[in-house]
Structure 1
Amino acid sequence: MGTDDLIEAVQSLRADDAFKARLSLPQWRNFATYLTPYQLRAGDLLIKQGECDRAAYFVGQGNLQVYVSGAAPGTFRVALMRPGALVGETGLFSDQPHSANVEAMVPTIVWALHLPRFEELNARAPGVANEVMRAAGAVMVARLRANLQMRVAMA
C-alpha cells in the first residue's frame, strides 16, 4: 500500500468523524512524506489504554476496534475504524494517557504521524500543518459530540 492509496482512503471515508483536511493533492503528498507505515497482525494493540503516545494514526488498510477495558462487564467496544479513519488523534494535542485500547481486528496497515515529524512539518510547511491540526481537532469535536449524545440517550 502506497501513500496515494492512503490519501484516497482518507478522502473517500464518509463518516461524521472523518478527517476532512482541505489540502490539494501536492499538499497531501507532501504531508504523506511525514507519515510512517506500520503493519499490524490481527489482535495487535496499536494503542493501550492508560499509556501515552504522542502520535496519531491513519488506517490505510484493515480495521481497528476501539474499546475500553474495565467497563462492566469486562470490555466495552466504543467504535470500529475503517480505512481512511484517524485514530489516536489526542496524542497530537496532549501527553495525557489514552482513554481506550485500539486493536487490529484483521491484518492492518496504519500510517503514523509522530509528534516530532509533525513539528518538522510545521517548520517546513506551516499551512499544511495548520490544516492537519484543524482537521484532527474537528475529528475530536465530532467524537466528543457523539459520546455526549450517547451518554444523554443512555441516561
Structure 2
Amino acid sequence: MDLDELVRSVQSLKTEDGFYARLGLPEWRTLGTYLTPYQLRSGDLLIKQGDIDRTAYFLASGSLQIYVAGATPGSSRIVLLRPGALVGETGLFSDAPHTANVEAMTPAVVWALQLPRFEELAQRAPGIALEFMRAAGAVLTCRARAQQTLRTAMT
C-alpha cells in the first residue's frame, strides 16, 4: 500500500464526481501523512448505513458498491466506485448518520482521513486542508445534484 498508487488512482479517475484537488506531489505527500491505509476483503462493509463515522476514504484499488438497505428490489444499489473515488466525505462535514452502506466488491485498499487528523492538517497545513475541502465539496455538490435529478425523474 503506497501513497503513489493512491495519487495515481485519484488523478486518473475521470468521472463527474471525481476528487479534482489542485495538489502537487509534495502536497499529496503531506496529506498522505494524515491518511491511514486499510485493506478490505471482498464483502467487507466499510461504512454501515445509520452509523456516524467522521471519516472520509479514498479508494486506492479494488471496487466498492454503495447501496441502501431496505430499498425496493432492483433499486438498492446506488453506484459502483472505482479506484480514485472519494467516499464517506459527508462524515467530515456532518454528525448525521450515513444514509447508505459501502461494501467492498473485490479486495480493496482505502486510505482513511479521520476528522481529528483532518483538524490537525488544518492547523499545520491550512492550504492543503482548504484545497481538500474545496475538492470534497465539489464531490458532495455533484452527488447531491445527481440524487436530486434521480428523485425528480422518479416522480
TM-score computed with the length of structure 2 as normaliser? 0.97
Work out the CA distance in 1 between the residues paired with 2:24 and 2:86.
19
Q: 3-state SS of the aligned residue for 2:76?
A: strand
1:63-101 deviation per Cα after TM superposition (whole angstroms, max 9, x unaligned): 000000011138600011100000000000011100000
**Corresponding residue for residue 119 of structure 1:** 119
**Corresponding residue for residue 140 of structure 2:** 140
**Corresponding residue for residue 60 of structure 1:** 60
Work out the CA distance in 1 between the residues paired with 2:48 and 2:75.
13
The one-letter code matched in structure 2 to 1:69 is A
Query: What is the 5 A alignment of 1:1-155?
Result: 1-73=1-73, 76-155=76-155
Q: 3-state SS of the aligned residue for 2:68?
A: strand
The one-letter code matched in structure 2 to 1:51 is D
Structure 1, unpaired ranges of 5+: none
Work out the CA distance in 2 between the residues paired with 1:37 and 1:9.
14
CA RMSD of aligned residues (A): 1.1
Work out the CA distance in 2 between the residues paired with 1:106 and 1:35.
21
Q: 3-state SS of the aligned residue for 1:142?
A: helix
Work out the CA distance in 1 between the residues paired with 2:114 and 2:3.
16
The one-letter code matched in structure 1 to 2:116 is P
Do the aligned residues in 2 keep the contact of 1:60 with 1:83 (CA within 8 Å)?
A: yes
Do the aligned residues in 2 keep the contact of 1:69 with 1:75 (CA within 8 Å)?
A: no
TM-score computed with the length of structure 1 as normaliser? 0.97
Taking only the aligned residue pairs, the percentage that are identical comes to: 66
Work out the CA distance in 1 between the residues paired with 2:96 and 2:129.
21
Q: 3-state SS of the aligned residue for 1:78?
A: strand
